[in-house]
């Protein structure tokens, strides 16, 4: 029984961790390009999911359309966040964008609370069902979430490494001055980065809503914290790192909960973060710094 | 000259009208009652509903002629409402701010984690010169954790007694459903109310009534993954699953139980989950859940109050229903104690309200008469409701 429970916890954690990976990728991609943290990212992701819910309530449609509507809404929020929190903010000031995105995080959170009176909203489930193997079971919806998250990661990696846009994005993240000198429009690329990460975030928000079955403003803070943990453990700016770290954090959460209970779970997750900060501050795949 | 006379005459008439209206409003005095609770954050709906209920009750009283004050003047109830964000430090700060205003009493807070430390800053015993605690009456409408009012003689509550409610529920289940023998709990560990309601109330009364307690699964207020907990519930094979959690995680756990095919014979919920939030989040999964509650629109007064609160953009449930009752109780106390509501009688009026509330042995509620205890708590009438087709319906009235 013990082994089955442990394996079950690991598998459930890995599957759910795919959503953390998506959130972590969003944080890390923005950091990679702008060398700044977008604290409003998870809030905008949940906001995108809420907007998708409203749109479906208005015009109807099957549950799977919520994923695409949320992605579009997320992209829109991403652009808005870029304009309001980065575009006209002095980037040389280390605290300026941090504070502006914290403010945006609070604003989005309060808008969600005010428009829904803080009430949890039922979220359409795209895939239901359980794969039953006796004592061991795998949730069909979590498998769907995992596969969708993997697909999103593959598409993103293709975008970054096989397209001109991706090349320009990487150029800006590595050498913004040189990128401008060769004719790459910095603002244009930054805005597109925020749109792409926003779409990813909205997609992740919808997947999380679908997996949980509910949307609530309660999701915003824990997702932000987990996204940041995943970003740091994976390495700031490292997308493969964010993917592995997301799965790792999801799995660790469930395993710690299984062994030590829910009241100590988060302590051990934070300890994991601390261990990485002390022994591997650059993250799982820390790379050597590139020079001009 | 004719124009001048006309102007002079108009001026005299205008002055006379103004003087009459001034003298009319001088006979009506403002009686300020300040509410406070969670108006932001995830439990915002509680504060919104409380505020609406307070305003609706005050409006009803004002339209019926107001409150009769101790010197024969008519008093008009004025309600303001402050946000404590369900945070203890902010709650204490808000209470001090209200106490330094002209408010006669503070009505709140929403959260038990605010109420407990807040009552701690009040003067413990009335008349104790050595205690420099705040001498300001607080009448709580929502914060429901058991046994808080005894912390201070300035603290009073109009909240249901969960001990009595769940005791009655388990007794009734023992009688009407003898096949139910065991209970497994699900508890939200990081919220004062839900935690206390499982460990100090449900678990104890169920054991006392002879039910076998098979353990409990734990989670946190913001958790979204209940796979481990639902698995524990499935393994326990209990007849009853008692979920001591607020709507978000109640729904999360119910959905996971549905996914894993966990089908107990009965599910019992937390009092605070007998609300619109639960039905909005998981009406299907919550079908047949039984919850004891101290409010349902089963009397003409309750129905009228619910309709009135809706005009102020709130809905009535066991928490906001209590807020509505608080205003009615305070009206009676203000009149019976001869409160004057003048600036120079402020502290004396507050003491009168405190004494008046302490003297009460029973009050009239929306669904029946509530008893008052010497500790300042209420023993309210209650019903058992169950979720049926997306609505809360009365299942059983224990007083019948």
A128: which chain B residues are within 8 Å (Cβ-Cβ)? Answer: 259
CA distances from B350 to B90, B139, B339 (A): 23, 12, 8
Contact of A226 with chain B, judged by CB distance below 8 Å, is answered with no
Chain B residues lying within 8 Å of A8, measured CB to CB: 227, 231
Cα separation, B295 vs B290, in Å, equals 14
Per-residue confidence band for A214, with pLDDT thresholds at 50, 70 and 90:
confident
Higher pLDDT, A12 or B18: A12
- The model's pLDDT over B185-215, given as tens digits with 9 standing for 90+, comes to 999 998 888 999 999 999 999 999 999 999 9
Q: B219 and A122 in contact by Cβ < 8 A?
A: no
pLDDT value of residue A205: 93
Mean pLDDT of A154-164: 89
Is residue B70 a contact partner of residue B83, using CB atoms and an 8 Å limit?
no
Task: Provide the pLDDT confidence category of residue A117 given band limits of 50, 70 and 90.
Answer: confident
**Strand ranges, E, within A108-205:** 121-122, 130-133, 136-139
Nearest to B29 by CA among B64, B57, B56, B69: B69
Asked if B41 reaches chain A (Cβ–Cβ under 8 Å), the answer is yes
CB distance B281–A12 less than 8 Å?
Answer: no
Per the CB < 8 Å rule, is B218 touching A261?
yes
8 Å CB contact of A221 and B223: no
pLDDT in tens, A183-202: 989 889 989 999 999 999 99
User: Which residues on chain B are in Cβ contact (under 8 Å) with A130?
Assistant: 259-261
Tokens of A232: 């740091």
Q: What is the mean pLDDT of chain B?
A: 92
Task: For chain B, give percent helix, strand, coil, nearest 5.
Answer: 45, 20, 35
The pLDDT value recorded for residue B23 is: 43
Among residues B248, B225, B390, B291, which one has the least CA distance to residue A118? B248
CA distance A100 to A266: 28
Residue A288: is its pLDDT beyond 70? Answer: no
* Mutate which: B188, B189, B227, B312, vs A, most A CBs within 10 A: B227
Are B248 and A120 a contacting pair at CB < 8 A? Answer: yes
3-class DSSP assignment, residue A23: helix
Residues 6+ apart with CB under 8 A from A242: A21, A24, A25, A27, A28, A230, A231, A234, A235
Interface of B with A in 151-180 (CB under 8 A): none
Find the range with the poorest average confidence among B4-18, B272-286, B386-400.
B4-18
- Sort out which chain B residues have CB atoms less than 8 A from A118's CB and list them: 41-45
Q: What is the pLDDT of residue A115?
A: 86
CB A265 within 8 A of CB A222: no
**A83: helix, coil or strand?**
helix
DSSP A27-41: HHHHHHHHSS--TTH
Q: Is A117 on the interface with B (CB under 8 A)?
A: yes
d(CA A120, CA A52): 15
Contact list, B221 vs chain A (CB under 8 Å): 218
| Res. B24 pLDDT band, cuts 50 70 90 | very low
User: Is this complex's ipTM strictly greater than 0.90?
Assistant: no
Are A5 and B277 a contacting pair at CB < 8 A? Answer: no
Q: Does A261 touch chain B (CB under 8 A)?
A: yes
Q: How far is A198 from chain B (nearest CA, A)?
A: 22
B283 → chain A, closest CA residue:
A122
- B212-237: string of b/e by CB count within 10 Å (b at 16+)? ebbebbbbbbbbbbbbbbbbbbbbbe
Q: Which residues contact A273 (CB under 8 A, 6 or more apart)?
A: A229, A232, A233
Q: CB of B189 within 8 A of CB of B220?
A: yes
Q: Do B280 and A120 touch (CB under 8 A)?
A: yes
Count the Cβ atoms, other than its own, within 10 Å of residue A101: 24
Residue of A nearest to B256 (CA): A212
Interface of A with B in 27-86 (CB under 8 A): none
Q: What's the CA gap between A10 and A7, in Å, rounded?
A: 5
């Amino acid at each position: 029984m013990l082994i089955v429970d442990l394996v079950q916890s690991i598998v459930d954690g890995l599957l759910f961790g795919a959503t953390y990976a998506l959130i972590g990728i969003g944080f890390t991609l923005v950091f990679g390009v702008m060398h700044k943290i977008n604290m409003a990212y998870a809030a905008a992701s949940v906001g995108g999911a809420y907007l998708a819910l409203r749109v479906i309530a208005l015009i109807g449609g099957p549950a799977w359309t919520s994923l695409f509507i949320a992605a579009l809404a997320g992209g829109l929020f991403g652009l808005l966040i870029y304009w309001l929190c980065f575009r006209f903010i002095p980037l040389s000031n280390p605290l300026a964008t941090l504070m502006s995105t914290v403010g945006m995080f609070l604003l989005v959170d309060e808008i969600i609370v005010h428009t829904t009176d803080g009430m949890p909203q039922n979220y359409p489930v795209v895939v239901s069902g359980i794969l039953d193997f006796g004592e061991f079971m795998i949730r069909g919806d979590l498998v769907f979430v995992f596969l969708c998250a993997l697909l999103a990661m593959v598409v993103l990696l293709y975008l970054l490494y096989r397209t001109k846009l991706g090349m320009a994005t990487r150029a800006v993240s590595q050498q913004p001055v040189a990128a401008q000198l060769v004719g790459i429009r910095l603002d244009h690329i930054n805005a597109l980065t925020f749109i792409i990460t926003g779409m990813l975030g909205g997609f992740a928000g919808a997947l999380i809503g679908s997996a949980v079955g509910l949307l609530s403003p309660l999701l915003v803070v824990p997702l932000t914290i987990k996204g940041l943990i995943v970003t740091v453990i994976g390495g700031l700016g490292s997308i493969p790192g964010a993917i592995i770290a997301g799965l790792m954090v999801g799995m660790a959460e469930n395993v710690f909960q299984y062994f030590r209970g829910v009241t100590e779970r988060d302590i051990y997750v934070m300890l994991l973060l601390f261990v990485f900060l002390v022994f591997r501050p650059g993250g799982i795949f820390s790379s050597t710094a590139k020079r001009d | 000259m004719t124009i001048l006379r006309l102007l002079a005459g108009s001026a005299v008439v205008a002055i006379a009208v103004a003087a009459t209206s001034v003298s009319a409003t001088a006979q009506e005095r403002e009686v300020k009652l300040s509410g406070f609770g969670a108006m932001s954050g995830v439990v915002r709906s509680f504060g919104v509903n409380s505020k609406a209920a307070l305003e609706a009750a005050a409006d009803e009283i004002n339209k019926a002629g107001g409150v009769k004050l101790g010197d024969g003047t008519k008093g008009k109830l004025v309600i303001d409402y402050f946000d404590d964000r369900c945070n203890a430090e902010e709650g204490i700060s808000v209470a001090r701010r209200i106490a330094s205003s002209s408010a006669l009493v503070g009505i709140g807070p929403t959260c038990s984690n605010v109420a407990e430390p807040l009552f701690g800053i009040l003067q413990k015993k009335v008349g104790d010169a050595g205690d420099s605690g705040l001498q300001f009456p607080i009448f709580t409408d929502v914060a429901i954790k058991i046994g808080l009012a005894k912390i201070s003689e300035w603290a009073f509550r109009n909240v249901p007694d969960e001990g009595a409610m769940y005791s009655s529920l388990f007794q009734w289940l023992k009688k009407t459903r003898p096949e139910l023998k065991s209970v497994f709990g699900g508890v939200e560990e990081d919220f004062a109310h839900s935690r206390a309601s499982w460990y100090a109330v449900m678990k104890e009364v169920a054991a006392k009534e002879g039910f076998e307690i098979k353990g409990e699964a734990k989670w946190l207020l913001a958790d979204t993954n209940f796979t481990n907990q639902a698995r524990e519930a499935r393994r326990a094979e209990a007849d009853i699953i008692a979920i001591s959690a607020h709507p978000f995680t109640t729904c999360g756990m119910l959905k996971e139980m549905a996914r894993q095919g966990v089908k107990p014979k009965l599910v019992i919920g937390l009092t605070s989950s007998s609300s619109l939030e639960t039905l909005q989040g998981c009406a299907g999964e919550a079908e047949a859940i039984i919850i004891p509650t101290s409010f349902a629109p089963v009397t003409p007064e309750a129905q009228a109050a619910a309709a009135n609160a809706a005009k102020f953009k709130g809905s009535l449930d066991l928490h906001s229903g209590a807020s509505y009752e608080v205003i009615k109780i305070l009206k009676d106390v203000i009149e019976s104690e001869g409160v004057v509501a003048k600036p120079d009688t402020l502290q004396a009026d507050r003491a009168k309200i405190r004494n008046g509330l302490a003297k009460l042995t029973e009050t009239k509620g929306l669904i029946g008469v509530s008893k008052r205890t010497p500790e300042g708590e209420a023993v309210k009438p209650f019903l058992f409701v169950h979720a049926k087709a997306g609505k809360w319906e009365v299942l059983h009235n224990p007083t019948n």
